[in-house]
Amino acid sequence: MMMEEQLNKKNNKKGLALYFSLPVLSWALYDAANTIFSSNINTIFFPLYLQETIGSNEVQTQLASTFISYANAIASFLLVIFSPLFGVMMDRTGKKKKYIIVFTLFAVFCTAGMGVIAKNSNFSTTILSMPLSLLLVIILFVLAKFFYHSSLVFYDNSISDLGTKEQIPVISGFGVAVGYLGTLIGLIVYLFVEDGKFHQAFLPTAFLFFLFSLPLFFFMKEAPTKKQTSFSFFSGYKDIYETFKQIKTYRKIFLFMIAYFFLNDAIATTIAMMAVYAKAVVGFSTDKFIFLYLVSTVSSIIGSFVFGYITKYKGAYLSVKYVGVLLIVALVMATFAFSEYLFWIAGSLFGIALGSMWVTTRAYIVEITPEKKRGQFFGLFAFSGKVSSVVGPFLYGTVTLLFADLGALASRIALGSLILLTVIGLYIHSLIKE
C-alpha cells in the first residue's frame, strides 16, 4: 500500500503527458525492442529460414513445422523451470531493471550468433545426421528465446512502478501499441534480405533489439522498496510451495492462471506457426505474408490502444472475455480459410486479439495480485504461460508429424485444435466470480 500511495502522489499525469513522461516512454520503447525480436525471429525469419533449409517438398515442409514447434517447446520448457524463481527473486530483492538488462544482452548476443553461424554454414559437417551449423542455429534460437522471455518476467511486473491502478490499463495499452510499432520498424530488415536468404535478418534484428532497449537501460526508474538483498536462488522453490499451499486464499488468482494457460497456449502457438501456415497451407508468397503481417500489426496497434481504454472503463475481467471470443473467431476463420480473402480477415482479427490479450491480462494480473507477492505471481503467470508454450507447439508439431502424409490438411487440423483450447480457457475464466 505504501508504494501505491507514493504513486498516487507522484503520478497525476494524464493523456499525452503520461505517455511521454521519460519512464513510461522508455518502458514502452522496450516493448518495441522485444517485439522486434519476437516478430522478426520467432514469427517470421527463423521459421522461414528453417522452411527454406529443410522443406524441399510438401512432406518435408510439415517436418520443418515440427522442428520449429519443438524448438519453441524446448525454450518454453526452460522457462517453466526458471520463471517462478524469477518472480521470487523480484519479491526478495526488489530488483527488476538489473535482470532485464542482463537477460536482454544475452538474448541479443545469441541472436547475433544465429546470424554469424547461418551466414557461414557448412552442411558437410553433420551430427546425428543433421548439419552441425543448422543444429547450432537452432540451439542459439532456443537460448535467445529463453533469455528474451526471461527478461519479460521482470519487465511485465515493472509496469506496477509506472502509475496507479487506474493508469495501468492505459499505460499497458500504450506500451503494446508502441511495441507493435516496433514490429513495423523491424520489418525494414526485410528490404535488405536477399531472396531466400532469410538468415540475413538475424544480425540486423539483434542490433535493433539492442538499440531500442537502451532507453530503458538508462531512464526507467524502479520504485524504492525495502527488500532483503541476500537470495539463494533455488530456495525460491520453497516460497512457491508455500504460496501453492494457500491456494484457497488466492483462488481467483489461481483460476485465472489456469485460464491464462489455455488462452496463451492458442496465442503463442499461432504466433510461432503463422508464417509456415500462411505459406504452406493458404499459399501465400513470402512478400504477401510480410504484407499480411504488416496489416495484422496495424490491427494490433489499434486494438491494443483501444482495449487499454476498454479495460479502464469495462474492467480487465470482462475485457479478457471479449478478447477470447475475438480470438476464437479469428482461429475458426484461419482454420477454414480456403481463400486468401478469408485469411486476410482472420489475420487482421488475430492481430487485434494478440495485442489486446497482453493489454488485458497484464492489467488483470496487477489488479488481482497482492503487492507483497506480486513479483512471485508474475513469475507464476510466466510459468503458466510457458507451460502452455511447451504444450501448444508440442501439440501442433505432433499433429503435423502424425498427419504429415495428408500435406496441408495436417496443419489445418493442428490449428483447429487451438480453438478448443481457447474455449476451455474462456470457460475457466468464467468461473471467476467478480
Asked whether residue 307 is assigned to any structural domain, the reply reads: yes
> In the structure, what pLDDT confidence band is assigned to residue 1 with cuts at 50, 70 and 90?
very low
- pLDDT attached to residue 124: 61
Within-domain flag for 211: yes
Q: Which of 209-213, 279-283, 352-356, 373-377 has the least mean pLDDT?
A: 373-377
Secondary structure element (H or E) that encloses residue 248, with its range? none
For residue 13, what are the CA distances in angstroms to 158, 224, 250?
A: 18, 20, 32
Question: What proportion of the chain, given as a percentage, has pLDDT over 70?
Answer: 82
Name the average pLDDT for the chain. 80
Among 95-99, 124-128, 237-241, the minimum mean pLDDT is found in: 124-128
pLDDT of residue 267 exceeding 80: yes
The parent domain of residue 305 ranges over 21-217+236-430
pLDDT band at 247 (very low <50, low <70, confident <90, very high): low
Say which amino acid occupies 140: L
Residue 104 pLDDT > 80? yes
* Structural domain includes residue 385: yes
Instruction: Let me know if residue 230 belongs to a domain.
Output: no
Residue 41, amino acid: I
pLDDT of res. 318: 92
What number of helices (H) and strands (E) belong to the chain? 16, 2
Instruction: Examine residue 99 and state whether it is found in any structural domain, yes or no.
Output: yes
The 10s digit of each residue's pLDDT in 35-58 is: 899 889 987 888 888 877 775 555
Whether 187 contacts 39, CB under 8 Å:
yes
| CA separation for the pair 182, 176 (Å, rounded) | 10
Rg of the Cα trace of the chain?
21
pLDDT, tens digit, 9 for 90 and up, residues 367-395:
888 877 777 777 777 667 667 666 777 77
User: Is it the case that residue 89 has pLDDT exceeding 70?
Assistant: yes
What pLDDT digit, counting tens, does each position of 140-155 carry?
Answer: 999 999 999 889 888 8
For residues 402 and 12, which has the higher predicted lDDT (pLDDT)?
A: 402
Q: Is the pLDDT of residue 2 over 50?
A: no
Whether 9 is covered by a domain: the verdict is no
How far apart (Å, rounded) are the C-alpha atoms in residues 179 and 38? Answer: 10
Rounded-to-integer distance, Cα 379 and Cα 88, Å: 7
Residue 192 near residue 200 (C-beta atoms within 8 A): yes
**Is 90 exceeded by the pLDDT of residue 158?**
no
| Residue 4 maps to a domain | no
Can you give the CATH number for the domain in which 175 is found? 1.20.1250.20
CA distance 271 to 351: 10
Calpha distance 269→214 (Å, rounded): 29
- Which pLDDT tens digit goes with each residue over 298-338? 888 888 888 888 888 888 899 999 999 999 999 999 888 88
Q: β-pairing, 130-131 with 126-127?
A: antiparallel
11 domain residue, yes or no:
no
Number of domains in the chain: 1
Which residues partner with 246 through β-bridges? none
The residue written with cell numbers 535482470 in the block is: 99
Q: Across residues 204-210, what is the average pLDDT?
A: 95
